[in-house]
Every structure is written in C-alpha cells, then in structure tokens.
C-alpha cells in the first residue's frame, strides 16, 4: 500500500505498512483500484450523456475513499464490483479490443478481488516516478474526493447539477491518461471553481430543507436521560433520527462537525435535540467509550471503535468491519440500543456556547460590521478554520486565537474550532468576537461574507483586513483550499504541516502564485500579520 492523502501520512511522506488512521493494506489497495476504475469509467463516458448510475458511482466511489470513511473491505469490494460492472456494460462489445486497463474485469470472489487490488498497486508503483506529475495528479484526485463528499450531501437533499458531474468525468478522465503539469494544475484550480458551486448547492440544499442557521446558545454538557449521539456531517440523517426518536424518551446529541446543526430552525425545533457532546473527531475513542448510549456515524471521521463496537452504527458510505450498518434511513437499531442503555444518570453542570453565524446571520448585520471597521473598533478579521487532528503542533491554533488583540474578530468553521470554541472572547459592540460559521463546507459562508465586505469597502478580498489561518487534515480541506486559490486568495497560512503530496516544485509554484506559507509560531505569525 501507499497512501499520503491526509495530514497524518506516516513520517510526513506516506503510509506504506498500515495507515496511521488504521487503514489496512487491503483496504488501501482496494481504494486505489476503485479510483482507477472510476478514472477508466469516466474516460469512457466523458463528453457523453451520463447515465444516472455513473453519476451515483462517481460521487459514492470517490467519497468512500476519503480518509476515515470506510475501512470495511466487504463494502469496498462491493463498490468496486458495482463500478466495474457498469464500466464493462458501457464498453459492451468494444471490451475485447480495449486496452487492458479499460477492459479490466473484477474476479468473482472477494479474496481474488483483494489479490487483484494488490497486483494493481504493484503495477502502478511506476506512476510515482515523476514526483511533480504524481504530486499534481494527487492534488487533483484529493480535491475531487473532497468535492464528491459535498456533492453527496447535496444529492441526498435532492440538489444536483449536470455541469458538476461533467467536470468530475472530465477531470477523472484526464487522470486516467497522460497529462502535463499545466493541464493538471489548471484542472485543480477548476476543481476549486466547481467546488465553490458545489458548496453553494449544499448551502442551498441545507437551508431550503432546514432554514438558515440562527445565532443559538447551545448546551455542551449532558442532561439526565437516555442518549443517542450523532457524528459526521449529514443533516438529513440527523433529521431522520430526530423524527424517529421523537416521543421515545431518547435525548439526541450532536458530535464533532454536527455541532452547527443545533442552529438550523428545522432541526433545533426538536426539544429532544439537547446539545453537543464531546469535541473534535480525534478525541472520539475516549469520549465515545464514556458515552452511555448509542452512536451513529453519518460520515467521516470514524476511528477504530474498540470497546464500543456493539453500540456504534454506521450510515451512508461509512463502514467499519463488524459494525452494524444502517440501511435506507431506518435508525431503529440505534434507537433500540439507546433505549437499552443506562443513559446519563444526572444533569451535568450546564455550560453553553453560541453557534449559528452563517452568511445570512452575518450579512444581516453587515452595516454594523462595516461601521465598526470604519470606526477603528475592528482592526482585522481572522478566519481560523479547518480540520482538527491528533498530531502535535495543533495547539498553534488555540494560541493564535488566544493571543489575538481585543479589536480582532475570529471567523471559524469545521472541527478545528474545538481548539478554542469554549474560550471567552467577548464582543465588540454587540458583535461576538468569535463567530462560528458552521461545518467545513460552510467555508461557502465565509467566502460570501468576504466578498460582501470587499464590495462594501470597494476593494478586493486580498485587500481586506482579513487573514486566513487554516488547518487541514483530509481531502475536504484540499478542495476548499483549491476554491480559495481559484478565487485568487493570497497569503494563506497553512498547517500544522504542509501536505506530503505537494512536491518541492509544486510548492514553489503555489508559493510564487499564491504566497501560501506554512504556519510558524502563533507569536511570529501574528506579529508578521499585524505588524
């Protein structure tokens, strides 16, 4: 196996024995083969009318291979068979004359398919020989994976776009063949452009279904009673769980990236959605072990559920070997498990934070924000956002937020916010100094706000008193970074470490074009920005 798609890549270069995330070599090789088959499938359908099954497989196949989504070889084999059968059916009578990679046929048994995936990995090692091309192909591949995750969330709420599918096919098909550096860099920036559209689609899907997030004070400590915890990113799954638990006496909690759901009118209307439990994904093993109820993982980031595998359930594309999977939105097994468990014996001392500063809420007070900047009450905005993770060095983000002078405002999103979202930052006039804009895909809100502020001040986004201090972990962060680059945003500080898949030459291009910089220390970076 070889995988370097996330920030945990072993030794800063790549996982080649077993994933730091727990991914086994068989799963890694199967995921590589899924990718290769999606690229072949896209090569066949590019420029043609795409059958619905192909659209579904492109999104599901890509999302399945994102970090911490699916560790279950059985599910990966089934996904591979599905893609392979669809590809061969489209090739039809041409299959006999097609080159080997297009005509590849999956074997009959799971063990044989796992052996085919191992052979595919061994045969593709040469693809890494040209480090810069491999780096650019990886940048595009990982951006597409992240974008597929968002497109899947929009699709479950009924929002799709043919142009988006066409781009997936165009980019995957370019990855199937030989492509030069300029083409690959161009496609990566185009991926950023299309991802902006996908995030807009998801924003529309979420807000049409559940209303616009509203600033909401939410409880972060447990209350007495039976308990069910929902993690991941899927609003529709949470809505189904809330409907299905209504009147059962089970209290529902959000976890990790589900925290922003507590601010959507269509979700917070349920009285038994009582609050958020725990922190970011990397703390789940100790927090889930202590949770006295059942747990549902709707998307990444799942970790080895050692000690609680009998009361965690996966949904959608998530999988862990031996863990019960929820099919067709029927969460009865998880609800029964929650009812069978003790739940919380007591109310914990009440603690609250405020969430729900999506673009509608922030732009609703845009005139006050602009006036505060003009009056010198707000010196600068800092978007401190992105993923959290287990590696050391991430306390940089806590320190950075803590060290910010009182006339600076923090915009935040994604799970990295857990590093500082319970600290007291106070307010400037009536505007809180910490504005939680939502999940990682709500980078869309941050972009809307930045563009509106730039219009109000008659300048470009790069000229605004706004700095981007980003943390990354997995591939959704990659596609958001590509979106920011597509928008021409410069001087992004990225950490905790730069991606292993960016070669020195590719980094040089990104630095020259966009002045991306690695984070250093909170003190030094703040000094450099504020002068």
Instruction: Please give the residue ranges that form the binding site for ligand SF4 (CB under 6 A).
Output: 3-6, 8-9, 15, 19-21, 23, 67
Min. distance of Cβ 98 from ligand FSO in angstroms?
Answer: 37
Distance, first Cα to last Cα, the chain: 46
Is residue 256 within the footprint of ligand FSO (CB under 6 A)?
yes
Question: Using CB under 6 A, which of 7, 200, 442, 474 touches ligand FSO?
Answer: 474
Is residue 477 within the footprint of ligand FSO (CB under 6 A)?
yes
Is residue 443 within the footprint of ligand FSO (CB under 6 A)?
no
Is residue 437 within the footprint of ligand FSO (CB under 6 A)?
no
Q: Which does 477 bind (CB under 5 to 8 A by kind): ligand FSO, ligand SF4, none?
A: ligand FSO
* Residue (30 or 480) nearer to ligand FSO, CB: 480
The span from the CA of 22 to the CA of 484, in Å, is 31
Min. distance of Cβ 72 from ligand FSO in angstroms?
Answer: 18
* Residue (4 or 381) nearer to ligand SF4, CB: 4
Tell me the β-bridge partners of 230.
Answer: 254, 296
Min. distance of Cβ 310 from ligand SF4 in angstroms?
Answer: 25
Is residue 440 within the footprint of ligand FSO (CB under 6 A)?
yes
Q: What are the strands, taking DSSP E only, across 239-280? A: 250-254, 273-276
The span from the CA of 179 to the CA of 361, in Å, is 44
Closest residue by beta carbon to ligand SF4: 19
* Residue (176 or 419) nearer to ligand FSO, CB: 419
Mode of pairing for the β-strands spanning 434-436 and 408-412: parallel
Tell me the β-bridge partners of 312.
Answer: 295
The span from the CA of 102 to the CA of 95, in Å, is 8
The span from the CA of 502 to the CA of 432, in Å, is 37
Q: Which does 6 bind (CB under 5 to 8 A by kind): ligand FSO, ligand SF4, none?
A: ligand SF4
The span from the CA of 516 to the CA of 349, in Å, is 43
Q: Which does 473 bind (CB under 5 to 8 A by kind): ligand FSO, ligand SF4, none?
A: ligand FSO
Question: Using CB under 6 A, which of 476, 503, 516, 526 touches ligand FSO?
Answer: 476
Question: Is the Cβ–Cβ distance between 227 and 250 less than 8 Å?
Answer: yes
Number of other CB atoms surrounding residue 112 within 10 Å: 12
Binding-residue pattern over the window 351 to 390 for ligand FSO, x denoting contact by CB under 6 A: ------------------------------------x---
The DSSP element (H or E) to which 395 belongs, if any, is helix 395-403
* Angle, CA 444 vertex, CA 433 and CA 191 arms, to 5°: 140
DSSP collapsed to 3 states, 458-527: CCCHHHCCEEEEEECCCHHHHHHHHHHHHCCCCCCEEECCCCCCCCHHHHHHHHHHHCCEECCCHHHHHH
Min. distance of Cβ 480 from ligand FSO in angstroms?
Answer: 8
What count of Cα atoms within 13 Å lies in the side-chain half-sphere of residue 49?
A: 1
Of 213-221, 338-346, 455-463, 468-476, the segment contacting ligand FSO by CB under 6 A is: 468-476
The SS3 call for residue 431 is: strand
Min. distance of Cβ 510 from ligand FSO in angstroms?
Answer: 19
Is residue 86 within the footprint of ligand FSO (CB under 6 A)?
no
Is residue 415 within the footprint of ligand FSO (CB under 6 A)?
yes
Query: What does the binding site for ligand FSO look like in residue numbers (CB under 6 A)?
Result: 233, 256-257, 281, 300-301, 387, 414-415, 439-440, 473-474, 476-477
């Amino acid at each position: 196996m070889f995988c370097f798609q996330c920030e945990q890549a072993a030794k800063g270069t790549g996982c080649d024995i077993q994933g730091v995330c727990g991914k086994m070599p068989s799963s890694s090789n199967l995921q590589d083969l899924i990718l290769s088959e999606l690229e072949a499938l896209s090569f066949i359908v590019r420029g043609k009318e795409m059958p619905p099954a192909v659209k579904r497989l492109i999104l599901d196949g890509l999302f399945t291979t994102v970090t911490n989504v699916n560790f279950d070889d059985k599910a990966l084999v089934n996904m591979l068979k599905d893609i392979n059968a669809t590809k061969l059916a489209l090739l039809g009578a041409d299959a006999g004359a097609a080159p080997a990679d297009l005509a590849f046929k999956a074997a009959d048994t799971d063990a044989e398919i796992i052996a085919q995936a191992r052979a595919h990995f061994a045969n593709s090692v040469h693809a890494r020989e040209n480090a810069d091309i491999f780096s650019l192909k990886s940048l595009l591949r990982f951006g597409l994976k992240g974008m597929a995750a968002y497109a899947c969330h929009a699709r479950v709420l009924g929002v799709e776009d043919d142009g988006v599918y066409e781009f997936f096919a165009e980019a995957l098909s370019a990855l199937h063949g030989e492509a030069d550096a300029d083409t690959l860099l161009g496609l990566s920036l185009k991926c950023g452009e299309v991802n902006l559209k996908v995030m807009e689609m998801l924003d529309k899907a979420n807000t049409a279904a559940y209303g616009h997030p509203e600033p909401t004070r939410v409880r972060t400590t447990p209350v007495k009673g039976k308990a069910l915890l929902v993690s991941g990113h899927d609003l529709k799954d949470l809505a189904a769980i809330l409907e299905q638990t209504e009147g059962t006496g089970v209290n529902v909690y959000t976890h990790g990236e589900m925290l922003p759901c507590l601010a959507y009118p269509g979700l917070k209307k349920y009285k038994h959605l009582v609050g958020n439990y725990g922190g970011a994904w990397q703390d789940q093993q100790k927090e889930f072990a202590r949770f006295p109820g059942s747990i549902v993982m709707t998307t990444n980031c799942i970790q080895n559920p050692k000690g609680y595998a009998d009361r965690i359930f996966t949904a959608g594309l998530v999988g862990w070997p031996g863990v019960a999977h929820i099919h067709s939105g029927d969460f009865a097994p998880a609800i029964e498990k929650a009812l069978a468990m003790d739940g919380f014996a007591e109310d914990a001392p009440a603690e609250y934070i405020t969430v729900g500063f999506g673009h509608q809420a922030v732009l609703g007070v845009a005139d006050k924000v602009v006036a505060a900047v003009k009056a010198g009450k707000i010196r600068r905005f800092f978007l401190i956002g992105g993923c959290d993770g287990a590696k050391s060095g991430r306390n940089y983000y806590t320190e950075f937020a803590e060290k910010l002078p009182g006339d600076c405002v923090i915009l935040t999103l994604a799970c990295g916010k857990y590093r500082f979202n319970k600290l007291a930052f106070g307010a400037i006039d009536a505007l809180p100094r910490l504005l939680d804009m939502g999940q990682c895909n709500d980078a869309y809100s941050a972009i809307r706000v930045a563009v509106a502020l730039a219009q109000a001040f008659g300048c470009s986004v790069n000229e605004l008193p706004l700095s981007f201090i980003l943390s990354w972990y997995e591939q959704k962060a990659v596609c958001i970074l590509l979106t920011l680059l597509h928008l021409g945003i410069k001087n992004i500080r990225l950490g905790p470490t730069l991606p292993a898949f960016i070669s020195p030459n590719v980094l040089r291009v990104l630095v020259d074009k966009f002045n991306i910089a690695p984070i250093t220390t909170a003190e030094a970076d703040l000094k450099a920005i504020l002068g």
